[in-house]
Structure 1
Amino acid sequence: MALKSTIFKVKLNIADMDRGYYGDHQLTLAQHPSETDLRLMVRILAFALNASDSLTFTKGLSSEEDEAELWDRSLNGEIALWVEFGQADEKWLRKACGRAKKVHLYCYGGRSTDVWWQQQQAALQRYQNLSIWQLPEDGLQACLTLVQRQMELQCSITEGQIWLSDHSHNVHLQPQLLKE
């Protein structure tokens, strides 16, 4: 029998002073059986960092199509923003850069991200619409204290720093920009 996804309900209040974006979002996230809580939190953080009224999650790991993990599409179907997580393959990023106006990649994984970046850096420099950030491992580990099936989170973003909190925990992260 196949394992089923775990459903998470997230009330996310965002105050992004860097972009001048303020909003409340009700998210329903399906956590694939192979997905870790860490990756789930990366998805929530990426949503907060790129939030808009038209930003949506796709089927992600469950998708059989060539889709972003998270994207912002216009009414005519054009992809304004394509968001990926992890240590993506250059071939996959090339496809994303060809289909979207902007592509954001959020890397995580500690030292393995450093190794991945050393190997991919030269090849990825040619993509003008690709931005890559490395999420700090210690901050992501601290985010695991926030994981619950029903979450009410506040996210404040200012000067590139992120504060993510619930009713009893407060986590600080400062992503490192690898490529702009």
Structure 2
Amino acid sequence: MALRSSVVKAQLQIADMDRHYYQDHNLTLAQHPSETDLRLMVRLLAFALNASEQLQFSSNLSDEGEPELSEKNLHGDIELWVAFGQPDEKWLRKACQRSARVRLYAYGGRAVPIWLQQNAKELKRFDNLELWEVPEQDAQALAGLYGRSMQLQCTINEGQVWLSDGDTSVQVELKRLGFD
């Protein structure tokens, strides 16, 4: 018998002063049984950082041919493909070929620089790929905000990101990854 995804509800208030985007979102996320709370919170963070009226989570996390988080234009073309973790280079190549912009939010502590070093040669040829790292301590702090039903506020100002559930605030200092 297959395990079913859990449903996670999040009310997310976003005040992004860098992009002048101020909006409330009622989100329903599917959490696959193999997905950690940390990974789900990184997905939620990525939503806040890229929020728009067209940005949507995929309804099926196990479909590797489609983005988990994307923004499509009126013609159905993918404008923004958001990826997570340390995916295979071939998967990112496919994303870069199918989308105008691809953003990867890598996490995993000491494994991230190793992954980047192993894949840098192939990845640096994609002009539409941005790589961001969520530092391990920040990702762990984000996971502490996890709940099956969440009310979160996200403030973004001058590149600084704060998430709060009313009791606890977490600052996330994303690091832009480059190719040396």
The TM-score with structure 1 as length reference comes to 0.95
Say if 2:10 and 2:26, in contact at 8 Å, map to a contact too: yes
> Residue 86 of structure 2 aligns with which residue?
87
Amino acid at match of 1:30: A
The DSSP-based 3-state class of the residue aligned with 1:146 is coil
Give the equivalent residue in structure 2 for 1:48: 48
Counterpart CA distance in 1 for 2:170 and 2:163 is 5
Q: What residue in structure 1 maps to residue 20 of structure 2?
A: 20
Letter in 2 for 1:69: E
Q: Report the Cα offset of residue 26 of structure 1.
A: 0.4
Per-residue deviation, 1:122: 2.1
Structure 2 counterpart SS, 1:62: coil
Aligned twin of 2:102: 103
* Structure 1 spans left out of the alignment, 5+ residues: none
Query: Are residues 1:163 and 2:165 paired?
Result: no
- Output aligned runs, 1:20-169, within 5 Å: 20-63=20-63, 66-169=65-168
Aligned match of 1:178: 177
Q: 1:20 to 1:179 in 2, by over 3 A?
A: farther
**Distance in structure 2 (CA, Å) of the matches to 1:94 and 1:30:** 25
User: How many Å apart are 1:60 and its aligned residue?
Assistant: 4.8
> Tell me, what secondary structure is at the counterpart of 1:162?
strand
User: Which residue is 1:10 aligned to?
Assistant: 10
- SS at structure 1 position matched to 2:61: helix
Structure 2: gaps of 5 or more residues = none
Paired AA for residue 65 in structure 2: D
CA deviation digits over 1:117-146, x for unaligned, max 9? 111122211100000000011011111221
SS of alignment partner, residue 97 of structure 2 = helix
8 Å contact 2:8–2:147 — kept in the other structure?
Answer: yes
TM-score, normalised to structure 2, is 0.95
Counterpart residue identity of residue 58, structure 2? T
Aligned-pair identity in percent equals: 58
Contact between 1:130 and 1:179, CA under 8 Å: does it hold in 2? no
Question: Contact 1:81–1:103 (CA<8 Å) still a contact in 2?
Answer: yes
Structure 1 residue 159, shift from structure 2 partner: 1.8
Q: Structure 2: how far apart are the matches of 1:124 and 1:145?
A: 32
Rounded Cα–Cα distance in structure 2 between residues aligned with 1:110 and 1:145: 17
One-letter amino acid of the structure 1 residue matched with residue 155 of structure 2: S
Does the CA contact (< 8 Å) of 2:10 and 2:149 recur in 1? yes
Is this contact kept in 1: 2:106–2:112, CA < 8 A?
yes
Query: Contact between 1:60 and 1:68, CA under 8 Å: does it hold in 2?
Result: no
Q: How many correspondences in the alignment?
A: 179
